[in-house]
């Protein structure tokens, strides 16, 4: 039995170096290279720059897996209740339901690429992240930055903030 497969002449998503939607969130700079809207829901792909001391709060995703690839620098990753340090060339996969976060514990910026499957979580960055300010660096967020709209969207998208026992 042969199966019919439809071929298309084009339809790839191409985002050149230096392009993509840039947003500041949680003190970091994120460039959205691909969103669920652009990939028919398949994935979200982001490149992040994390200044020293920064990174998102501990959280878990109920409907999405997340994968990280370290491009430069070092980040401390939380995996449930334990931590480890990832550095350039390291890969980390976080299945849905696992409490995690990353934090730059070094004295220089770290850079990583990350992927959500399926896509969709990046919508919180797109809609609630801040536009970059020329000549400035992102500022670390405080509790006041977590607006009711952002918290509601995170919950709608299946992201739960889960404080660390021993920050």
58 three-class SS: coil
Which pTM does this prediction carry? 0.85
The answer for 41, left when phi > 0, alpha when psi is -120 to 50, beta otherwise, is left
**Residue 97 to residue 95: CA distance in whole angstroms:** 6
Model pLDDT for residues 80-132, shown as the tens digit of each residue: 999 999 999 999 999 999 999 999 999 999 999 999 999 998 988 898 888 99
CATH for 21-154 is 2.60.120.10
Model pLDDT for residues 53-65, shown as the tens digit of each residue: 999 888 899 999 9
**Residue 2 to residue 61: CA distance in whole angstroms:** 39
CA dihedral (150, 34, 10, 118) positive or negative: negative
Q: 21 falls in which pLDDT band (50, 70, 90)?
A: very high
Which pLDDT does position 166 carry in this prediction? 44
CA dihedral (48, 49, 55, 56) positive or negative: negative
């Amino acid at each position: 039995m042969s199966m019919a497969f439809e071929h298309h002449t084009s339809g790839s998503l191409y985002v050149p170096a230096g392009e993509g939607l840039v947003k500041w969130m949680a003190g970091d700079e994120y460039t959205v290279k691909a969103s669920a809207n652009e990939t028919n829901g398949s994935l979200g792909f982001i490149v992040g720059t994390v200044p020293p001391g920064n990174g998102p709060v501990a959280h878990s995703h109920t409907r999405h897996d997340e994968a990280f690839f370290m491009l430069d620098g070092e980040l401390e990753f939380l995996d449930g209740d334990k931590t480890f340090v990832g550095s350039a060339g390291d890969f980390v996969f976080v299945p849905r339901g696992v409490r995690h976060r990353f934090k730059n514990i070094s004295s220089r910026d770290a850079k990583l690429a990350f992927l959500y499957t399926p896509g969709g979580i990046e919508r919180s960055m797109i809609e609630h992240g801040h536009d970059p300010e020329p000549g400035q660096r992102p500022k670390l967020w405080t509790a006041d930055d977590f607006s009711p709209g952002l918290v509601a969207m995170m919950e709608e998208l299946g992201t739960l903030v889960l404080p660390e026992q021993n920050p």
